[in-house]
Structure 1
Amino acid sequence: MAIKKVIVVGAGPSGLILGLLLAKQGIEVELLDAGAQLDDQPRAAHYASPAAYELERAGVLDDVKARGITPKGFAWRKMDTTFIAGMKLDVLPDDYPYKMQVLPLDRLGVLLYEHIQRQPTAHVKWSHRVVKIGQDQEKAWVDIETPEGIVRSEGDYVIGCDGASSTVRRELFGPEYPGETLDAQIVATNVRMSFSFHSNNATHDE
């Protein structure tokens, strides 16, 4: 069966990249996000080779390189700048296309949104919170809480890109998501840090 329409829940970077990949195949893509606009939190900042490969497949890698930084290496240091560990990236061949890229996630989101708006088969809908999903032998659907009330949208597939508190995951698996809980506490937060990236031309301090 030819895929005609895919509903992507979550218009963060993952959802936007997926939407681009699908739309470029001529598939109608409806991206639904509970937020009123793009997430403006910087969060991640760098994208290693596997991510750079996907960015190229989505047709945005050149723009990421133009707006960001291609570092020659990076390091972890203590607050007093004592070296802990690092990695040199300038040993890669000059023509290797998938070098690490540095661009804060909020800026990447803006870039991806610009690209997806150019796709005639892709439509991003803000303030559209998915509250329930379902399927039968012919289609899948989502019930969506919108400013105008509850509406239903149907497609060939529903794909969840809606993060840690995923409605799609909860609807599929219930509160007990099948997986592994690590025996460690990991805390992720947004922190303004001072760091330097060395490109081929200059040192960039963020």
Structure 2
Amino acid sequence: MRRLILAALLLPTLALADVDSRFAQLRDQAEALGSLGTFLDKYIGECSSFFSGLGCRGAAEEFRKQYEGKKLYMIVGESAASMVQPGPYQPGSGNYTILVTPSFPGGSYHLTQGAPSQLGSEDQPLVPPVRVTGTTPVGWNATDFMRLFSNHQVRLQIVFSPEGIWGLERNQGRGKLYGVSCRVEGVLLSNARTGKPLGMWLADEPADKAPRK
């Protein structure tokens, strides 16, 4: 019985054993985000609903003050499929690049890296991608790498700091799309099936710095 209890206590630690210590430090400094949609709704405080009430905008302003300078952490599951795309892959070395578009939908709003200056044809915020690099396991080939994306096997974890609100006119005069701009502090990609890390990007680290083993 004692062995079973000890094993249960160790499971969370073992699950995080492969997480790079630099990202783990960022994550441990951040507040875990339960629902992105709820957070964006409270932060923006559009207050367009008939039932919003007179204190809606004041509550939103107070909510924003609570998160000034704070870091938040969230996990993006299968919905990350629309945010991650395969970049260059080198068959000889197994080195690859994964492009992450830092625009995360939540309810009627978006969380974006910085404030976008324009929207795409489907009213999606246009922001430059983040480049995450890594190396495939021994025995993998280009087909195995591409299968990560076709089977939606990429899990994304991010740490970010909210910075403010943006608004852009939708196409064809359908009102404004609002969102929250942020500074993405770190991105960690992992295989959703195995939990193994695929790569990491840190805002305060040069992109060409070799990853730690």
Q: TM-score, normalised by structure 2?
A: 0.21
Between Structure 1 and Structure 2, the one with more helix by share is 2
Q: Which has the higher contact order (CA 8 A, sep 6+)?
A: 1
- More strand per residue: 2
